[in-house]
Amino acid sequence: MTKLAIAANGLRKSYGDQVVLDGVDLAVPEGTVFSLLGPNGAGKTTAVKILSTLVRADPGTGDIHIGGHNLATDPQAVRAAIGVTGQFSAVDGLITGEENMLLMADLHHLSRSEGRRTAAELLERFDLVEAAKKPASTYSGGMKRRLDIAMTLVGNPRIIFLDEPTTGLDPRSRHTMWQIIRELVSDGVTVFLTTQYLDEADELADRIAVLNDGRIAAHGSAAELKRLVPGGHVRLRFTDPAAYQGAARTLGDATRDDDSLALRVPNDGSQRELRSILDRLDLAGIEADELTVHTPDLDDVFFALTGSADIPSQSKEAVR
């Protein structure tokens, strides 16, 4: 059995009469990236705060284990095992990046020389050597996030919570952050990542859970989630109107786009269904000029599950 870095059963939290988390189960195997996906206000930060001992879960919540430690009875051990990079930066803008790092080293009771060595290593690793002596308030958004993560790593945590680490970053800085997260994972670190961005979860996460109305609306790998929603189809485009008309007759279940001489045929993306379409066209002696297979993406899943249209789509195209 794989060991779980994070295990929570029936996580509950209300603020006043607002139920934020209404019985959320989480199980994150060691060394994997788990993404908690949800729109603004879904309860992602609340979940991170509970799991990282900063906020207490409501009575009725089941056992929570982090790094094998019981969160209720041994919060000290949990804190020693984890690192948290909050949604809002912990960087002190008035002091330099290096001073921020040394402050963290102090908090972790590293010796003076060890603190300096660790700070220097991490500043180097996160490409902050040049900026190290400048006040952090002068840093760009991407640099602040990198410093934030570098500070989180001072204690060498094996489990890291990253709460919306790329929100508000430009595409280039997002990619740098993704690279950083991949490197953490290749070092064997477990990453609990919250995000509003489907492409981010798709890119990084081994498993994804979609949080909606205080509950996990769906969970699984990106591929598994995509299979939950219909929307897959094959698009055939023609230049010859006669071929187009012939294909439309042959494939009875196609949706026509007469203007661009294109047909859209429902398809689950399987080899069998694709072959059946091609066989029918071959039999009729028709050849399409262009054939594309569209499989549903996480956007389709997200909309199907949450019915929410007001998530930031960020510069998704630009990012790719």
Ligand X SMILES: Nc1ncnc2c1ncn2[C@@H]1O[C@H](COP(=O)(O)OP(=O)(O)O)[C@@H](O)[C@H]1O
Which residues of this chain interact with ligand X, rule CB under 6 A? 15, 20, 38, 40-46
Please list every residue from 30 through 49 that binds Mg ion, using CB under 5 A: 44-45
Q: Minimal distance in Å, beta carbon 58 to ligand X?
A: 13
**Which C-beta is closer to ligand X: that of 54 or that of 95?**
54
Q: Which C-beta is closer to Mg ion: that of 163 or that of 202?
A: 163
| Cβ distance to Mg ion smaller for residue 134 or 215 | 215
Q: Which is nearer to Mg ion, 41 or 62 (CB)?
A: 41
Could you tell me the smallest distance in angstroms from the CB atom of residue 55 to ligand X?
8
Q: How far is the CB of 37 from Mg ion (least distance, A)?
A: 12
Total residues at interface with Mg ion (CB under 5 A): 3
Rule CB under 5 A: say whether 245 interacts with Mg ion.
no
Q: Which residues 59-118 are close enough to bind Mg ion by CB under 5 A?
A: 87
Among ligand X, Mg ion, none, what does residue 41 contact (CB within 5–8 Å per kind)? ligand X
Q: Output the smallest distance, CB 214 to ligand X, in A.
A: 9
Q: In angstroms, rounded to a whole number, what is the distance separating the alpha carbons of residues 236 and 278?
A: 10
Q: Which residue is nearest to Mg ion (CB)?
A: 45
Amino acid at 69: H
**Class of residue 253 by CB neighbours under 10 A (exposed 0-12, middle 13-18, buried 19+):** exposed
Q: Which among Mg ion, ligand X, none contacts residue 89 (Cβ within 5 to 8 A by kind)?
A: none
Structure tokens at 244: 């187009």
Q: Give whichever of 20 and 131 is closer to ligand X, judged by the CB atom.
A: 20
- DSSP result, the chain: -PPEEEEEEEEEEEETTEEEEEEEEEEEETT-EEEEE--TTSSHHHHHHHHTTSSPPPTT---EEETTEETTT-HHHHHHHEEEE-SS----TTSBHHHHHHHHHHHTT--HHHHHHHHHHHHHHTT-TTTTTSBGGGS-HHHHHHHHHHHHGGG--SEEEEESTTTT--HHHHHHHHHHHHHHHHTT-EEEEEES-HHHHHHH-SEEEEEETTEEEEEE-HHHHHTTS---EEEEE-SSHHHHHHHHHHSTTPEEETTTTEEEEE--S-HHHHHHHHHHHHHTT---SEEEEE---HHHHHHHHH----S--TTHHHH-
42 binds, among Mg ion, ligand X, none (CB under 5 to 8 A by kind): ligand X
Residue nearer to ligand X on the CB measure, 35 or 118? 35
Which one of Mg ion, ligand X, none is in contact with 20 (Cβ closer than 5 to 8 A by kind)?
ligand X
Task: Report what 214 binds from ligand X, Mg ion, none; CB cut-off 5-8 Å by kind.
Answer: none
Q: How far is the CB of 220 from Mg ion (least distance, A)?
A: 23
The nearer residue to ligand X, 83 or 214, going by C-beta atoms, is 214
Binding site for Mg ion (CB under 5 A): 44-45, 87
